[in-house]
Amino acid sequence: MNIRDVSLHFDRMTGVMMAYIGTFAICVIVCAVMGEYSLLLGYFLVTCLTLFQIQAWLGKLIARRMFGDPMAAFPKMYGELFAHPPVQIDYRLDFDNYLTAICYDGEFLYIVDKNKMVTLKWSDVRSWSWEIIDPAVQVTTANTPGLAVQGAVNDAWANLGPRVNAIKSSGIRLTVKDVNHPQWFYNTGKDKKAEAVCRKWEEIFRQFSDGSLKIAA
Together in a domain, 52 and 118:
no
Q: Are residues 88 and 190 in the same domain?
A: yes
Q: Are residue 60 and residue 96 in the same domain, yes or no?
A: no
For residues 27 and 102, membership in a common domain is answered with no
Owning domain of residue 41: 10-68
Domain membership flag for residue 145: no
pTM for the structure as a whole: 0.69
Question: What is d(CA 118, CA 129) in angstroms, rounded to the nearest whole number?
Answer: 17
Question: Distance (Å, rounded) from C-alpha 197 to C-alpha 191?
Answer: 10
- Which pLDDT value is given to residue 55? 52
Bigger pLDDT: 106 or 62?
Answer: 106
- Regarding whether 81 and 50 lie in a shared domain, the answer is no
Q: Using the predicted structure, report yes or no on whether residue 107 has a pLDDT greater than 90.
A: yes
Residues 25 and 118 in one domain: no
Count CB neighbours of 62 within 10 A.
Answer: 18
Residues 181 and 215 in one domain: yes
Cα 75 from chain centroid? 17
Percent of the chain with pLDDT over 70: 60
Q: What is the DSSP string of 52-76?
A: TTHHHHHHHHHHHHHH--HHHHGGG
Q: Averaged over 19-34, what is the pLDDT?
A: 61
In this predicted structure, the answer to whether residue 129 has a pLDDT above a threshold of 80 is: yes
Element (H, E) at 77: none
Backbone angles phi, psi at 10, to 5 degrees: -95, 110
* Per-residue pLDDT, 217: 85
Whether 154 is in a domain gets the answer no
Please state, in angstroms and as integers, the Cα–Cα distance from residue 38 to each residue in 23, 43, 50, 52, following that order: 14, 8, 18, 21
Q: What is the CATH number of the domain that holds 177?
A: 2.30.29
Task: Please indicate whether residue 135 or residue 183 has the higher confidence score (pLDDT).
Answer: 183
126 with 195, same domain: the answer is: yes
